[in-house]
Structure 1
Amino acid sequence: AAFDAQGDQLIYELCAPLIGAGQDGLGGAPSTPNYECDDLLPNPACPPPYETVQYVPPFSALNPLGGDPPVTIDPVTGLLYGTPLAQGQYSVGVCVYEYRNGQLLSVIRRDFQFNVVNCQPLYVADLQADTQEDDHYFIEKCEDLEISFENKSIQQATLDEYRWEFLVDGQIQTFTEWSPTITFPHAGNFEGALLLNPGAPCGDTAYITVTIFPEIVPDFTFEYDTCSAGPVSYVNLSYIDGPGEFARQFWAFGDADTSNLTDPVHLFKDPGAYLTRLTVEDTHGCVADTAKWVNYLPAPSLLIVSPNDTISCPPAEVLFNNLSSPVDESYKVFWDFGDGTTGTELNPLHIYQSEGTYSVHLEIVSPLGCTIDTTFEDLIRIVPPPVADFRVDPPVVFGFNPVANFVDESIDAAHWEWYVNDQLIAHTQQVQNYMFRDTGLQKITLHITHPEKCQDTLTRWVDVVPEWTFYLPNAFTPNEDTNNDLFKGKGILTGIRDFDMQIWDRWGNQIFQTDDPLSGWNGRIHNTGRSAEEGVYLVRVTFTGPRGEPFEYQGVVTLFR
Structure 2
Amino acid sequence: MRDFKGLLLVFGIILMSNSWLKAAPANKENLGFETGNFSGWKGYTWVYRTDDPSLSTDRVEGIVNGRHTIMSDQTAYDENTGGGLKIIPEGYKYSAKLGSVQKGGQHQSLSYTIKIDSTNALLVWKFAVVLQDPENNHEKYEEPRFMITLLDENGDTIPDCTNYDVYATDARISGFQTYYPTGSNEPIVWRDWTTVGANLLPYYGQTVTIEFMSADCTHKNHYGYGYFVLDCMPLIITVDYCTGDSKATLSAPSGFSSYLWKDAGGNTVDTVQNLLVDNPQEGEMFICEMESETGCSVTLSSEIARYEQEAEFTAQMLDCFSNKVKFTNLSTHTRGTLTYLWDFGDGNTSEEKDPVYKFKTSGIHRVALILYNPPSGCIDTLYKEVESFSPPLVGFKGYTTYCPGAGTELVAYGAFSYEWSTGETDSVIYLGAPGGEYWFLGRSSEGCVSDSMYFTVSEEPDWLFSVSGDTFLCQGTTGFLYAEGAVDYLWNTGDTIDSILVYKEGNYRIAGKNARGCSKELEVTVTEVPIPDIDFTLSAHSINSRHNSVKCSAVSADDNVTFLWDMGDGTITNTPRFTHYYLETSELITYDVNVTLTNEYGCGITKSTYVNVDLFVPNVFTPNNDGVNDYFMSGYDLKIVDAHGVVLYRGLDGWDGYYKGKKADPDTYFYILNYTDAYDGNRLKRGYITLER
TM-score, length-scaled by structure 1: 0.35
- Whose Rg is larger? 1
TM-score, length-scaled by structure 2: 0.29
